[in-house]
Structure 1
């Protein structure tokens, strides 16, 4: 069944590939500006300490460009993705009805189809931002100090190992949750108190287990990040000929790196959910 997931998302992307590609290019551009902030602030700090006020110029140019790019992307995204959802939900309803799928499941799947569009509108840009934060910050840390870059690479390897197990758990839990959601309309239509109570009790159970799994994974990442922060701070202050601006830049890039790590549990959970939804609403 896993093989069905990619065609579902792939077909949605192919139908609107040019429009979606534009918004992702704007997202990449925003992330590039975000990546340059610590470098530009570090230059500004060193310059201002020497009364060189023109060193503020790179920071304000980057900042202004970032604001304009963000406005354009948001205005563009709203128009593109509302159109995509309208087309998709119409297709899902007509296709599922033609296949003789029960009305209760069609209603549930029409709601779930919104999450496929949300994946391209919000989750995939978040994945881009997370990966850019990962590797962009990592490259900059290597630029400032080879050993700090190696330390952070080791942290990334540990993270990958932890999330292999979390991904499998999240996939199973999302499948159970979506199984229940597909039955919701039918259960509510029967209006049997015992079935309704049982249904919402199970929804509560699977949502709690999903939340607990995400919290456990996130806590593990936080603990690893806390230990690495101590190592990086000790290394940074002992670098030869280090100046204040460079110290600021290194610490900023490291915490940007950690901030990207914090997003991983949520993104893994969302991707697992989208995989399961994709298997349920395959449509031409």
Structure 2
């Protein structure tokens, strides 16, 4: 409850400052950016604690696996690196799609307020296209990542059964690999959130810079 009150206060204060600095902008743009600002605050309130928990759990699992079975540990590291490379390669595309989607969000109120069905339809179709592109990209990267994870699980079972006589030890290794997979699969979600919020932060920062320049130019 205390956290909710604190973050609500942060949102109100930042929202007031943002609206005041963009007084010359359209109502549609300011409304959209208030929603974007809310996304940033909610990330710090809800997603960041979960991200920290996942990262700690992932690190702990990797350390334990390094003591139980070195080949499985190396396999986990290889999959983690491959996952990082995969999402790094698609990062610019994700940012570009989010930029297009946010541009359309800033036009939404104007499109609705215009009362023009054609303009509104074009706006809604544009938003749908950006959402579909983001969804397709996410599905593609998730699918590739899922194949990597399944390969890791098969490798872990095979190498553990080959090198370990006790079934209990094999079971423990496989369970830790499952935990590793669960934690690692969650991290790309936070990475994609971070990419979206970075685009939003840059958008809001440009507004603040423009407002400062205009204020300095005023005699």
Q: CA deviation at 1:248?
A: 3.6
Instruction: Specify the alignment match of 1:138 in structure 2.
Output: 62
Q: Secondary structure at the match of 2:163?
A: coil
Instruction: Specify the alignment match of 2:98 in structure 1.
Output: 174
Q: Secondary structure at the match of 1:281?
A: helix
CA distance in 2, matches of 1:181, 1:231: 45
8 Å Cα contact 2:157/2:170 also seen in 1: no
* Residue ranges of structure 1 left out of the alignment (5+ in a row): 1-74
More divergent stretch after superposition (196-205 vs 248-257): 248-257
Instruction: Give the TM-score, by structure 2 length.
Output: 0.87
Give the direction of change, closer, same or farther, for the CA distance of 1:253–1:77 in structure 2 (3 Å limit). farther
Q: CA deviation at 1:269?
A: 2.1
Once the two structures are superposed, the pairs formed by residues 155-170 of structure 1 within 5 Å of their partners are 155-170=79-94
Instruction: Specify the alignment match of 1:184 in structure 2.
Output: 108
1:87 to 3, 7, 13: 13
8 Å Cα contact 1:148/1:232 also seen in 2: yes
Over residues 190-230 of structure 1, what are the superposed CA-to-partner deviations in whole Å (9 max), with x where a residue is unaligned? 11111100000010000011011111111111101111101
**1:77 matched to 2:3:** yes
Over residues 135-177 of structure 1, what are the superposed CA-to-partner deviations in whole Å (9 max), with x where a residue is unaligned? 2211111021112111111111111111111211111100000
Give the direction of change, closer, same or farther, for the CA distance of 1:261–1:175 in structure 2 (3 Å limit). same
Give the direction of change, closer, same or farther, for the CA distance of 1:140–1:80 in structure 2 (3 Å limit). farther
Once the two structures are superposed, the pairs formed by residues 125-274 of structure 1 within 5 Å of their partners are 125-240=49-164, 242=166, 244=168, 246-274=169-197
Q: CA deviation at 1:241?
A: 5.1
8 Å Cα contact 1:123/1:267 also seen in 2: yes
Q: CA deviation at 1:262?
A: 1.8
CA distance in 1, matches of 2:95, 2:56: 25
Q: CA deviation at 1:122?
A: 2.3
Instruction: Specify the alignment match of 1:44 in structure 2.
Output: none
**1:96 matched to 2:22:** yes
The number of equivalent residue pairs is 207
8 Å Cα contact 1:170/1:268 also seen in 2: no
Q: CA deviation at 1:264?
A: 3.3
Instruction: Specify the alignment match of 1:275 in structure 2.
Output: 198
CA distance in 1, matches of 2:43, 2:25: 24
8 Å Cα contact 1:184/1:199 also seen in 2: yes
CA distance in 1, matches of 2:92, 2:52: 22
8 Å Cα contact 1:221/1:261 also seen in 2: no
